[in-house]
Amino acid sequence: MATGDGWSSDELAGNRSWTDAWMPGTCYLLTNAGTVNSIGGQENSWGTVGTVSCRVRPMPGQSAMEGAKQESNAADSEWEIVVPVGTTVNRKQRAKVAGVVYHIIAVVDDKSDNPDKRLRVVRRD
């Protein structure tokens, strides 16, 4: 049976398996479990709701050198985190990789025949 891109189910499974092997990092997906404090104010508390393999890289079209420069010089820098295709994630969550917290600004390429899922994220130091 072919998928939207003309891949058979076996080809798609093989491609996803190969893609997953190129995700050396661990991504902790965080959700805000905000609480009301004793004076009625909102306190944010981010708890881990999932752990997946991942790869963090500069945004497409930006070299690794530009990404490193952006990381060191800017408070807000854009990155892409690649996670397995079946990962449940949304823009209200955050992603934490190697101790760095990223704000998810978009979940892209979320189609049934893609080998991975890509998160556009912003690192805010």
What pTM does this model have?
0.71
Domain 9-124 fold: Thrombin, subunit H (2.40.10)
pLDDT of the residue at 92 = 95
Domain-by-domain residue ranges, the chain? 9-124
* SS3 annotation, the chain: CECCCCCEHHHHHHHHHHHHHCCCEEEEEEEECCEECCCCCEECCEEEEEEEEEEEEECCCCCHHHHHHHHHHCCEEEEEEEEECCCCCCCCCEEEECCEEEEEEEEECCCCCCCEEEEEEEEEC
64-106 pLDDT, tens digit each: 455 455 445 455 789 999 998 889 999 999 999 999 999 999 9
